[in-house]
Structure 1
Amino acid sequence: MAVSSHEDAVRAELVRLAASLFQRGYSVGSAGNISAKVEDGILMTPTNSCLGFLDAARIAKLDPAGNHLSGDKPSKEVFLHQAFYETRPEAGAVVHLHSTHATALSCLADLDPEDTIPPITPYVVMRVGRVPLLPYVRPGDPAMGDLVRARGGRNAAVLLANHGPVVSGPDLLSAVYAAEELEETAKLLVLLRGQTVRHLTGEQVADLARVFKLKS
């Protein structure tokens, strides 16, 4: 199967960014998965692969309907990624990590299920937006995709209960940056638990949304 120069570039960027996430501890072992759109389908990290040691030529390629075309078998979380692409046409990449603090947050029993990441910094508002909590589903269960679809594309990111974060973005770099921002904000939230925290006001959040033309 012929590969375009654009697809070659996306494969190379996926390998580079995945390795960076792994090297900085955002992913361990074979945890986490990443996908990105190309002209004629979707590239996805293979099942049981390590984000730190990907081979560009072995990255799975799917057609827009999710059928496996080439490369190694895709991640079992393929349903999760497809649901984001189906409900958010602007999404060009999806990053699912088991990053420590966001995963810790996903295990807490007292989260607001509609807003797990309150606006404590402007950048989490700008890069991530409102992050709902989705109920626990076994990893790889197609029901996970149904839960994302039920959100109707309203959120660029979700937190999977007792599992971790999933973040979409218009392109691979944006999705990775947003996933990093979510993890760092989750770290702040864990560190600040039990303290009196000053959140951004509704007016301040609205100002960010207006200036930066934020969708969610």
Structure 2
Amino acid sequence: MNAESRLRENLARFAKSLFDRGFSVGSAGNISAALDDGFLMTPTNSCLGFLDPARISKLDAGWRHVSGDRPSKEAFLHRAFFETRPQTGAVVHLHSTFATALSCMADVDPENCIPAMTPYVVMRVGQVKLLSYFRPGDECAGDLVRGLGGKHAAVLLANHGPVVSGRDLPSAVFAAEELEESAKLAVILRNERVRYLTPTEVEDLKTAFPIG
């Protein structure tokens, strides 16, 4: 099995795992991963739980569709991360419940919408910025990601859901899962007195575990 075939199999396997555990529903969500000669991406309107590895979309280095089913209509979100964060090897966009709930709340800090309650969100996700609402498929959302200049590995799209990048496919998937679990904590503890990590503790984690 060559590298592309292995990546196709792994992408389908990780996608099914996310679907089976409720991180995506129906045909929501999309995943991309880098190849030496381009990118693989889940097809538009496909279900992450039932991907056929052979039909996963392939795009060339210029993001032109070359084989497989037609790629996700939100490919521009993925492309923006790959182009502004050279260390990116994969991108995961989900509509996971608690992260999406957080993206709908009016009083979320748009500069840091996933509070540092545990070390792991700092280590695996980093500071998450909330981006303004655009309808699904509107390429303006990709422009907003580009406008961040590669400073954030993950964002929350307002009233939509998270987009998370990683150095490879497992890293991106695990970071997306960590973001969802951290958002769950944020929602559950919303009306409680919470001990957040101090700025010194956060900086220590950033130094010890740099993202990307």
Is the structural similarity TM-score above 0.5? yes
TM-score scaled by length of structure 1:
0.96
Which residues of 2 match residues 140-155 of structure 1 at below 5 A?
A: 140-155=137-152
Q: Secondary structure at the match of 2:17?
A: helix
Q: 2:116 aligns with which of 91, 115, 119?
A: 119
Equivalent of 1:11 in 1, 8, 11: 8
Q: Which residue of 1 aligns with 2:201?
A: 204
Query: Alignment RMSD, CA only?
Result: 0.9
Q: Is the 8 A contact 2:123 2:210 kept in 1?
A: no
Runs of 4+, deviation exceeding 6 Å: none
CA distance in 2, matches of 1:190, 1:167: 19
What secondary structure sits across from 1:158 in the alignment? strand
One-letter identity of the residue aligned with 2:118: T
Matched residues in 1 for 2:92 and 2:42: separation? 10
1:193 partnered with 2:175: no
Counterpart for residue 34 of structure 1: 31
Partners of 2:97 and 2:22 lie apart in 1 by 8
SS in 2 for 1:85: helix
Return the offset for 1:214. 4.0
The 5 A counterparts of 1:94-109 are 94-109=91-106
Q: Which residue of structure 2 lines up, in the alignment, with residue 56 of structure 1?
A: 53
- Looking at structure 2, the residues matched to 203 and 112 of structure 1 have their Cα atoms a distance apart, in angstroms, of 20
Unaligned runs of 5+ in 1: none
Shift of 1:57: 0.5
Describe how 1:18-29 pairs up with structure 2 within 5 A.
18-29=15-26
SS at match of 1:28: coil
Q: Among 169, 180, 184, which residue is 1:183 paired with? A: 180
How far the C-alpha of 1:64 sits from its partner, in A, is 1.8
| Structure 1 segment 60-99 matched on structure 2, within 5 A | 60-99=57-96
Q: Give the unaligned 5+ runs of structure 2.
A: none
Asked if 1:163 corresponds to 2:160, the answer is yes
2:41 maps to which of 40, 44, 48: 44
Question: Deviation per CA, 1:143-200, whole angstroms, max 9, x where unpaired?
Answer: 1110100000000000000000000000000000000000000000000011111100
The AA in structure 1 aligned to 2:5 is D
Q: Which residue of 2 aligns with 1:172?
A: 169
Percent same amino acid among aligned pairs? Answer: 68
Amino acid at match of 2:56: I
What is residue 132 of structure 2 aligned with on the other side? 135
On the 8 A contact 1:102/1:183 being kept in 2, the answer is: yes
Amino acid at match of 1:194: N
Q: How many residues matched?
A: 212
Deviation string 1:45-68 (CA, Å, 9 cap, x unpaired) is 000000000000000001122110
